[in-house]
Structure 1
Amino acid sequence: MGTVAEPVSRGADDGLLTGGQALVRALRAHGVTQVFGIPGTHNLEIYRHLPAYGIAHVTPRHEQGAGYAADGYARVTGRPGVVLTTTGPALLNAAAAVGEAYADSVPLLVVSPGMPLGHPRPATGALHEMRSQTDALRGIAAFSHRASSVAEIDAAVARAFTLFRTRRPRPAHIEVPLDRLAAAQAPGPVRRASSTARPTPAPEAVRRAVTVLCGARRPALVLGGAAVGARAQCRHALAELLGAPVVTTAAGKGTVAETHPLSPGVSLHSPAVQKWLATRDVVLAVGTELSESDFWTVPPPLDGTLVRVDLDPDQMYAGAVVDVPLVADARLTLEAPLTDLPDDGHARVPEFAGNACTRVAGLSGNAHTRVADDVAALRAARDAETAARDAETAARDARWIPYLRAIREVPAADAVVTSDSAQCCYYGALPHFPVGPEGRYLHPTGFGTLGYALPAAIRAEVAAPHRQVLALSGDGGLQFTVQELASAAQLRLPLPIVVFDDGGYGETRDEMRARGDVPTAVDLAPVDLPALARAYGGHGTRACDPAALARALTEALDRPGPTLITVPEETP
């Protein structure tokens, strides 16, 4: 990272660092150049030092938005997102984003002040006083660390970045007591995170996995979020050469192009695909929990051999019984068959551009490779699986599909799409909006939070200004963080937000009706969302048919600032 310049600390004696400066110095030493948050009375000593260390700041309109924005930044850039809050309610406002980051394995660091070290246990009525911020965050983050000295602050930052770099990424919280933020001490060298590489798979475990895959008659790949960094390896070395159909979780969407002959896309929630998966004699699961949030139901039994790749060793003992465990980095594991095994031949699959010279040791000559050579059969199988999946929900999804097709035609292939926990997203876009490896689709999967799409899109656009970004949401979810339209307008970046408006909380309304209940508290009073966007300094319009939506999107991608496009839906 290089050395960090030492600007003069205002409020400290010459040559001394306050806790606030020590914190900012430690962040910069770990490559942080952007943070998200809202300044408040208790965190001003942190904000004082941001400019001197070259750390830019984005001000959302709510700390929940700050958390989702940092989450989107982390998913797009691969670097940890950092949130600065003040004490008490501000920290708790960000808690939903911390829970989402934990569920979806996103590297997120939340930093907050806390009550002074000597603050009495009984409540005193101090501003933003809480019984224990660390206890509150410990229940949803990988760890919550309360620094007891200025010297301990950079050690806590190093601990967080060591977690991000060497283990399964999870959110962390660091609390710096108010008296330690203001205290000053002589500076020492900055502690930095361990440079230890992520674990590589044991050669013997890789050999066993390849042997199992070579002998498979009906293999399948299930790719989760951790497979995103191993896209080419998954597509070429495994899917194509093994002739194994690929199903992705929501977090793994786009790992293999969803127009690819081997990819039914995001399909684990489909009963037809679940039945098909149960017939596979070998399933290779990469970076996925194979959990209820992936299947949208109790995970079905897998009758075949399960080969599992995951950085988290605990996943080898959770859920389905693992026959061949590979506790290692997904990318390194999927490269291993190409680099570590003896080269005794290579397999090829015609018609797949760019892989004519791809080699997988040990795969040539077996019966399964001959199946892989029959591209027409693979395409027919993929089409049959997709058709079976879509037939189950055709009536329900019909209202979104024409609009999603229109949306897909407008942005570039490498566009970043963010979505919300809304019917139009998980029933509509996840299965019916194809994404390829060059693009990204960000969805709040495990925690199922509402209000994610808009702030995540804002941050994604700032992090990747050369790529188009658009957000998909429902009217209920959007209003959790609708105030972030002001942030988007202030940044003046082109950002279309497509909102399917069914007048309330559609999923809960449907569930109530399915139970035979009278829908209660799920219908929202109409809001003129395009007018609200204009009031925040953006633009707004309505699209009553797919052609109008395509035109509005085209204009929005060329116009500075956010454009909110409402698609009215009839309330069922």
Structure 2
Amino acid sequence: MVSTGPFKSLARGGLLTGGEALVRALCGHGVTQVFGIPGTHNLEVYRHLAAYGIRHVTPRHEQGAGYAADGYARVTGRPGVVLTTTGPALLNAAAAVGQAYSDSVPLLVVSPGMPLRHPRLSTGLLHEMRSQTEALRGVAAFSHRVSSVAEIDAAVARAFTLFRTGRPRPAHIEVPLDLLEAAEPLGPVRLAPPVPPPVPSVREAATALSGACRPALVLGGGARTAGPACLALAERLGAPVVTTANGKGVVPETHPLSLGVSLHSPAVQKWLATRDVVLAVGTELAESDFWTVPPPLDGTLVRIDVDPDQMYAGTPADVALVGDARAVLEALLPELPPHARVPDDITTLRAARDAETAARDARWIPYLKAMRSVLAGDAVVTSDSAQCCYYGALPHLPIGSTGRYLHPTGFGTLGYALPAAIGARTARPDRQVVALSGDGGLQFTVQELATAVQLRLPLPIVVFDNGGYGEIRDEMRARGDTPTAVDLPAVDLPALARAYGGHGTRACSPAELRHALAEALDRPGPTLIVIPEETA
């Protein structure tokens, strides 16, 4: 268990306020950094952060705080924590909570709430709303309103138990604002207990995989901690590997068996449907992974997932292994034949996959190659719901086992890339971090340039500018409609970055991008690099 360490409490006479009890509980669970914006109702929480050694990062909007905490969580494997005040501040963070739920990210949002005995009828209290917990229950795994100072420990422990033992999803804790100021005598902080990961019997799965003639691996975000075991299994079986967006880079994408992020490819879908055994690890096999209705599988589907619901949701498992991916795979490997099989020749499949989108993707590929040539192997790239990301970088920007690519899949929010990059950069100041976005998505959270300036950490933001919402424009045209409300007035984005105190430039060729990116990685503060669509 984690202790609170040698931190100085502000308590008097053995009493702790709700605000200090909350900060003490976060510290006890290893929280060292939080994201948020102080407000009238949460000042008692902010009062105690420094005393417990918790660093605070102040984004310019609570949605940005949520995405930053999400990025922090994805690169560290530890929960990201958001502090908001009541009402609109909490609702501002709700989109980020929904994204974290979709992508199985451990995110804890903590807010004050209306006083314990606040009447049901409206009184006009500042930030009053009918029910914060009802609102957050719609996007989080749970929303817990405490009813005493003593209950704060239990609520925080409940959240960390969820993060450690089940599918990691966001949680919300609401502390009534009068409890934040109330003082009660408390004993030692109560912590979430360590729970060993479950390991089910792997005999049936081992039999199916050992007898497979045409095996395949599908890896999702739930396989993230099991990369070496996934690679060893693929090599042992001679099985090609395809990943979801969240599984990108679990197995190095330059490996001969890797098909990268290509479940959306008709050629890959047709190939997958003909496999006699498919092993799916930590993935929903969802429509958002295939970009269409998931194809029926002719062979045996073996699923490994910590979430038992996945065994019968969507495509049901023929062989179900409920447990931690790393533990299950490490138990499975010794049960397989010791000699590696000759892998399938997937060169033809790769060629068919690439031919499907060669004309569409040609505008991004040279720039992505330029980015790859500059970035270190362990670089972190954050992504947005933009064409340059899901059509461009997901399939065409290779990520190795030490790098990371953070993408808002499933829920598909816009504005994720910049604040997520800030969260990732504060978590890993020793690694290169680059945000990749479109001009439409960037402007959802462009104010976070100010946060990046304040932190003075090198942070390139590469933006493909197509003058609005390019995907929706293309969909309207495909329907035979006249594009409406998708063409946005031009914004001088490099000048905007400079106005915030950062740097801004344009790159009209891959060589110019390569040069600008190399400089930006060594320059304190953000550098916004715009690639005009007409030259991309």
TM over 0.5: yes
Q: Is the 8 A contact 1:293 1:445 kept in 2?
A: yes
Partner of 1:411: 375
Gaps of 5+ in 2: none
* Corresponding residue to 1:244 among 212, 215, 239: 239
**What are the residue-to-residue correspondences of 1:550-569 with 2, within 5 Å?**
550-569=514-533
Partner of 2:466: 502
| Matched letter for residue 564 of structure 1 | L
Partner of 1:350: none
**Cα distance change of structure 1 residues 210 and 8 upon mapping to structure 2, 3 Å threshold:** closer
Answering whether residue 181 of structure 2 is matched by residue 182 of structure 1, we say yes
Partner of 1:448: 412
* Corresponding residue to 1:274 among 235, 260, 269: 269
Amino-acid identity (%):
79
Q: Is the 8 A contact 2:58 2:451 kept in 1?
A: yes
Shift of 1:320: 1.1
Q: Is the 8 A contact 1:239 1:245 kept in 2?
A: yes
Q: Is the 8 A contact 2:378 2:432 kept in 1?
A: yes
Partner of 2:89: 90
Q: Secondary structure at the match of 2:346?
A: helix
Aligned equivalents of 1:514, 1:153: Cα separation in 2? 53
Deviations 1:424-463 (A, max 9, x none): 0000000011111011110011110111100111111111
Aligned equivalents of 2:190, 2:384: Cα separation in 1? 38
| Matched letter for residue 8 of structure 2 | P
| Matched letter for residue 419 of structure 1 | S
Aligned equivalents of 1:296, 1:137: Cα separation in 2? 28
Q: Is the 8 A contact 1:164 1:170 kept in 2?
A: yes
Deviations 1:235-272 (A, max 9, x none): 01x11110000000000000111111101100001111
Partner of 2:534: 570
Partner of 2:445: 481
| Matched letter for residue 93 of structure 1 | N
Aligned equivalents of 1:190, 1:111: Cα separation in 2? 18
* Corresponding residue to 2:209 among 187, 205, 213: 213
Aligned equivalents of 1:139, 1:252: Cα separation in 2? 26
Q: Is the 8 A contact 2:218 2:243 kept in 1?
A: yes
Q: Secondary structure at the match of 1:116?
A: coil
Answering whether residue 479 of structure 2 is matched by residue 515 of structure 1, we say yes
Deviations 1:302-340 (A, max 9, x none): 1110000000001111011211100000000110024xx
Q: Secondary structure at the match of 1:371?
A: coil
Q: Is the 8 A contact 2:509 2:535 kept in 1?
A: no
Q: Is the 8 A contact 2:235 2:341 kept in 1?
A: no
Answering whether residue 88 of structure 2 is matched by residue 114 of structure 1, we say no
Aligned equivalents of 2:338, 2:281: Cα separation in 1? 23
Q: Secondary structure at the match of 2:150?
A: helix
Answering whether residue 92 of structure 2 is matched by residue 99 of structure 1, we say no
Runs of 4+ aligned structure 1 residues displaced above 6 Å come to none
Deviations 1:465-496 (A, max 9, x none): 11111010000000000000011011111111
Partner of 1:425: 389
Tell me the matched-pair count: 535
Q: Which moved more, 1:381-390 or 1:164-173?
A: 381-390
Q: Is the 8 A contact 1:165 1:197 kept in 2?
A: no
TM-score by length of 2: 0.98
Gaps of 5+ in 1: 339-359, 373-377
Shift of 1:383: 2.1
Aligned equivalents of 2:440, 2:115: Cα separation in 1? 40
* Corresponding residue to 1:301 among 289, 296, 308: 296
Partner of 1:344: none
Aligned equivalents of 2:473, 2:448: Cα separation in 1? 26
**Cα distance change of structure 1 residues 115 and 546 upon mapping to structure 2, 3 Å threshold:** same
Shift of 1:99: 0.3
**Cα distance change of structure 1 residues 406 and 8 upon mapping to structure 2, 3 Å threshold:** closer
Q: Is the 8 A contact 1:475 1:499 kept in 2?
A: yes
**What are the residue-to-residue correspondences of 1:264-343 with 2, within 5 Å?**
264-338=259-333
Answering whether residue 60 of structure 2 is matched by residue 61 of structure 1, we say yes
Q: Secondary structure at the match of 1:150?
A: coil
TM-score by length of 1: 0.92
* Corresponding residue to 2:502 among 509, 528, 538: 538
Aligned equivalents of 2:377, 2:195: Cα separation in 1? 35
Partner of 1:363: 337
Q: Which moved more, 1:265-274 or 1:193-202?
A: 193-202
Deviations 1:118-150 (A, max 9, x none): 111111111110100000000110000000000
Aligned equivalents of 2:376, 2:461: Cα separation in 1? 16
Q: Is the 8 A contact 1:201 1:332 kept in 2?
A: no
Q: Secondary structure at the match of 1:229?
A: helix
Q: Is the 8 A contact 1:268 1:295 kept in 2?
A: yes
Aligned equivalents of 1:194, 1:421: Cα separation in 2? 37
Partner of 1:166: 165
Q: Is the 8 A contact 1:497 1:562 kept in 2?
A: yes
Q: Is the 8 A contact 1:503 1:571 kept in 2?
A: no
Q: Which moved more, 1:180-189 or 1:503-512?
A: 180-189
Deviations 1:89-132 (A, max 9, x none): 00000000000000000000000000001111111111110100
Q: Secondary structure at the match of 2:252?
A: coil
Aligned equivalents of 1:322, 1:52: Cα separation in 2? 50
* Corresponding residue to 2:220 among 213, 218, 224: 224
Shift of 1:8: 4.2
Q: Is the 8 A contact 1:167 1:198 kept in 2?
A: no
Shift of 1:15: 2.1
Q: Secondary structure at the match of 1:92?
A: helix
| Matched letter for residue 188 of structure 1 | G
| Matched letter for residue 190 of structure 1 | V
Q: Which moved more, 1:289-298 or 1:188-197?
A: 188-197
**Cα distance change of structure 1 residues 509 and 3 upon mapping to structure 2, 3 Å threshold:** closer
Q: Secondary structure at the match of 2:38?
A: coil
Aligned equivalents of 1:570, 1:96: Cα separation in 2? 32
Q: Is the 8 A contact 1:83 1:111 kept in 2?
A: yes
Shift of 1:14: 2.8
Q: Is the 8 A contact 1:106 1:171 kept in 2?
A: yes
Partner of 1:7: 8
